[in-house]
Amino acid sequence: NFMLTQPHSVSESPGKTITISCTRTSGSINNNYVQWYQQRPGSPPSNVIYEDNQRPSGVPDRFSASIDGSSNSASLTISGLKTEDEADYYCQSSDNSKKVFGRGTKVTVL
Amino acid sequence: QVQLVESGGGVVQPGGSLRISCAAAGFTFSSYGMHWVRQAPGKGLEWLTFIRYDGNKKYYEDSVKGRFSISRDNSNNTLDLQMDSLTVEDTALYYCAKDSEGYCNSPGCSHFGSWGQGTLVTVSS
């Protein structure tokens, strides 16, 4: 079984850029796609990135993501931060028999 | 558009059982795998279980294996989760979620395409 490790929180000012990391503890990050979900208070999660770096329609191009095999991690970058980006962000990946979520990163836009 | 509406949540005593449901609409239910995901109060997301589009393959997270059972009725477009031997650690908001791609055979085949609003299960004496 593997885990996905994320920072607990990230804070930054509007207009700035943040990057949230997600490190896979065992097995290669390249083995299975990584997704990112945004969850605002009182709402279900919504997908902002799927299949490592693909944006669903309607998600602004301020959201981007990448995979780094050397650090066995994925990253979500949000540029031009807006107050509406304040939310919890979860990375998620899989193996053959289960889906695994990271513990989530709380993004605060100061 | 896709609609997923969970129901059946409530308060149950430790050791008790509860069955929650998810009513699906707006897509061909019988073509998509379905999942249950939960979120304890103030905590993160936890994937629980997946059922294949035809109901013939099921997967469970270790923490619920043997206690929870997922099922579906493709003629009525409903997804169920039977929860037995409940503990206080099972207290959470339970979401049903749909695969983004049809005809997936395993939980990792595709990402979550849609989510319901959740139903709250509270295990307390």
| Residue B121 pLDDT exceeds 90 | yes
Residue A1: pLDDT band by 50, 70, 90 thresholds?
Answer: confident
* Per-residue model confidence as pLDDT tens digits over B8-53: 999 999 999 999 999 999 999 999 999 999 999 999 999 999 999 9
Q: Residue B64 gets which letter from DSSP?
A: T
Nearest by CB to A103, which of B44, B62, B117?
Answer: B44
The alpha carbon of residue B107 is apart from the nearest alpha carbon of chain A, in Å, by 6
At CB < 8 Å, which residues of chain A contact B?
1, 32-33, 35, 37, 39, 44-47, 50-51, 88, 90, 92-104
Task: Report d(CA B94, CA B121) in Å as an integer.
Answer: 7
CB A62 within 8 A of CB A15: no
Using a CB-CB distance cutoff of 8 angstroms, which residues of chain A are in contact with residue B59? 97-98
Ranges of beta strands (E only) in B1-125 are 3-7, 10-12, 18-25, 32-39, 45-51, 58-60, 68-73, 78-83, 92-102, 112-115, 119-123
The answer to whether B59 contacts A97, with C-beta atoms less than 8 Å apart, is yes
Report the pLDDT value the prediction gives residue B20, as an integer from 0 to 100.
98
At CB < 8 Å, which residues of chain B contact A?
35, 44-47, 50, 59, 61-62, 95, 100, 106-108, 111-113, 115-118
> Which single residue is written with the structure tokens 């329609």?
A57
Using a CB-CB distance cutoff of 8 angstroms, which residues of chain B are in contact with residue A92? 45, 47, 111
CB B112 within 8 A of CB B4: no
Q: Coil, helix or strand for A84?
A: helix
* Per-residue model confidence as pLDDT tens digits over A50-108: 999 999 999 999 999 999 999 999 999 999 999 999 999 999 999 889 999 999 999 99
* Per-residue model confidence as pLDDT tens digits over B57-108: 999 999 999 999 999 999 999 999 999 999 999 999 999 999 999 999 999 9
Tokens of A29: 């990050």
- Report the candidate in A90, A85, A109, A89 with the shortest Cα–Cα distance to residue A101: A90
For A52, other C-beta atoms within 10 Å of its C-beta total 17
